[in-house]
Amino acid sequence: MDERFLPQCRLHAHLLLAPYQSAVLNKLKEENVKGVISLNEDHELRRHAPTVEEWKNHGIEHLQLPTVDFTEAPSLEYLERGVEFIQQHANDGSSVYVHCKAGRTRSATLVGCYLMMMNHCTPQEAQTFMEAKRPHILLKDRHFRALYRYYDKHVKKARPNKDKRTSEPQDT
């Protein structure tokens, strides 16, 4: 398997969304990744994932926001922490690699929140943008509820022309 990131993994200038790949560590440097967010639980990472110390030895900051797969979406607190983490790295000019097991639900929920915040778009617009890049994104009702909680708290009031749809997130 080719371990390079596919172009559709880069959803924003400072953001990659992908499934977890155990052999990806060296490829992250090529993508200027200085931060990694894992939405996996401990048991999902135990056998194949680098430890916090190993990430650190590669110059990469690691944030784990453990979220149960299939039955939960990331909490509002985790979404806020994740967006803040991504923004801090973007401000430093580096990228963040966001992953869960398949890069379809938990991580896509967090990435959708970042896209909404950066582009003042709705959850549907963020989903449409992500699906154009990664068609196998699979957001279910619980993930949309999480997106809307974040949207209502952080994005809705900041949207210009609240009554009109804004353009989709920009691919910069």
Q: Where do we find the tokens 């990472």?
A: 45
Task: Judge contact between 97 and 28, C-beta under 8 A.
Answer: yes
Angstrom CA distances, 128 to 3, 27, 116, 155, 171, stand at 26, 27, 12, 17, 12
Alpha carbons 70 and 171: distance in angstroms, whole number: 29
From the candidates 9, 100, 113, 121, which is the catalytic residue? 100
Query: Measured between alpha carbons, how far is 78 from 151 in angstroms, rounded to an integer?
Result: 14
Beta-carbon count within 10 A of 111 CB? 29
Nearest partner of 155 among 88, 99, 76, 94, judged by Cα:
76
d(CA 112, CA 126): 5
In the residue annotation, 113 being an active-site residue is answered as no
Catalytic residues: 100
